[in-house]
Copies of this chain bind each other. A is one copy, B any other.
């Protein structure tokens, strides 16, 4: 197998040299002579850890001591990059350039997939694992700054519908505890599949995005409620023809337990006009299903990389068009590089058709990002400037 790859590579190098000259003759993903040596520790490393690092091309370099290992790989963006061992048993290696923003990754040590001991850990892909931040030109919008800060509160509440004590994270805006007469609008904000209620606070920086927007006067201060919407859904019971009812069990938790809990315990306005739902990926699809079925509950809707609402949808749910005052649909630009069908059609076409039909809709595309957190942070940044202003 290795010989086959080697022969193929030599063939590609020769072909490239014939066509473009020797400077474009690379075949292997990594050509050490071309890597720009301006690596810096990742901003989401554990305190004091030198690795992983990121360079100006967006390459990730990591390093781990594994003196007895035969093979160590960096596994990021669905590609495994071999690390190289030095005389002290320390392995080092780089990935190809990554898109800006946040990416999950892991190490592979002689076949074991494990977190990188150098990074902080984030919940995604169904597990706590490593994450890395590729600096972006716009990263200031979610940075921790010396502005008034809200709080991110961990709360436990009893959910009757699931008969368990569940955990929610609640963002309260700056000044929430100062003026007890003031009430706020509220956004129910969902994560994606394989993620949980910690995602928007940890890798999403929803709290800092809001703190910064509020400090600049660009957003109406509101409360954000983040819960785990990966509530058991039984795919086997949902006929394929009807689509997969992502919203099933979570819909019950949200409508019968979480919203009443929030309204009893936080100073929210508590009416449809001041209640929003948004989510990313699976959370966007849940938002779609739940808000289409409950336009008397939510007036503001955001779907980030999670489908769209079509003319057919609103024909079947006319109150949605009548009652919903903001519909925000977004994607990462790389998600749209191929024409996007499924989930009820092309999201841009759908969203523009609804605008033509008189709805307040917005379609946003995050530049140069894929189905990843930087698309969703930017989406929240855009959505937060529109929501509760209509």
Q: Give A63-78 interface residues, CB cut-off 8 Å to B.
A: 64-72
Q: Give A138-172 interface residues, CB cut-off 8 Å to B.
A: 144-146, 149, 151-158, 165, 170
Q: A172: nearest residue on chain B (CB-CB)?
A: B153
Contacts A120-B128, A165-B146 given; indicate if A111 touches B155 (C-beta within 8 A). Answer: no
In the bound complex, CA of A156 to CA of B148 (Å): 9
In the bound complex, CA of A169 to CA of B299 (Å): 34
Contact A69 B154 (CB under 8 A): no
Q: Give A347-373 interface residues, CB cut-off 8 Å to B.
A: none
Is residue A109 contacting chain B, with contact meaning CB distance below 8 A? yes
Per-position 1/0 for A264-301, Cβ under 8 A of B: 01100000000000000000000000000000000000
Contact B121 A69 (CB under 8 A): no
Contact B177 A266 (CB under 8 A): yes
Contact B111 A110 (CB under 8 A): no
In the bound complex, CA of A109 to CA of B383 (Å): 45
In the bound complex, CA of A64 to CA of B108 (Å): 12
Contact A67 B153 (CB under 8 A): no
In the bound complex, CA of A121 to CA of B117 (Å): 11
Contact B149 A111 (CB under 8 A): no
Partner of A112, one of B69, B153, B265: B69
Partner of A149, one of B64, B65, B129, B157: B157
Contacts of A71 in B (CB 8 A): 68
In the bound complex, CA of A74 to CA of B107 (Å): 18
Is residue A127 contacting chain B, with contact meaning CB distance below 8 A? yes
Contacts A128-B120, A144-B165, A152-B154 given; indicate if A114 touches B111 (C-beta within 8 A). Answer: no
Contact A68 B110 (CB under 8 A): yes
Contact B117 A117 (CB under 8 A): no
Is residue A180 contacting chain B, with contact meaning CB distance below 8 A? yes
Is residue A113 contacting chain B, with contact meaning CB distance below 8 A? yes
Q: A66: nearest residue on chain B (CB-CB)?
A: B112
Contact B151 A155 (CB under 8 A): yes
Contacts A144-B156, A165-B146 given; indicate if A110 touches B109 (C-beta within 8 A). Answer: yes
Contact B114 A117 (CB under 8 A): yes
Contacts of A65 in B (CB 8 A): 111-113
Contact A109 B69 (CB under 8 A): yes
Is residue A46 contacting chain B, with contact meaning CB distance below 8 A? yes
Contacts A117-B115, A127-B46, A127-B117 given; indicate if A110 touches B146 (C-beta within 8 A). Answer: no
Is residue A126 contacting chain B, with contact meaning CB distance below 8 A? yes
Contact B117 A89 (CB under 8 A): no
Contact A66 B117 (CB under 8 A): no
Contacts A107-B114, A117-B113, A265-B177 given; indicate if A126 touches B68 (C-beta within 8 A). Answer: no
Q: A228: nearest residue on chain B (CB-CB)?
A: B47
Contacts A126-B48, A177-B265 given; indicate if A66 touches B154 (C-beta within 8 A). Answer: no
Q: A115: nearest residue on chain B (CB-CB)?
A: B115
10 closest residue pairs by CB, A with B = A66-B112, A68-B110, A69-B110, A67-B111, A68-B111, A149-B156, A114-B114, A152-B154, A151-B153, A153-B153
A and B contact pairs by CB, cutoff 8 A, 12 listed: A64-B114, A68-B70, A69-B112, A109-B112, A109-B114, A115-B115, A121-B121, A144-B156, A151-B153, A151-B170, A152-B153, A152-B154
Residue positions of A touching B, CB distance < 8 A: 46, 48-49, 64-72, 89, 107, 109-115, 117, 120-121, 126-129, 144-146, 149, 151-158, 165, 170, 177, 180, 201, 207, 265-266
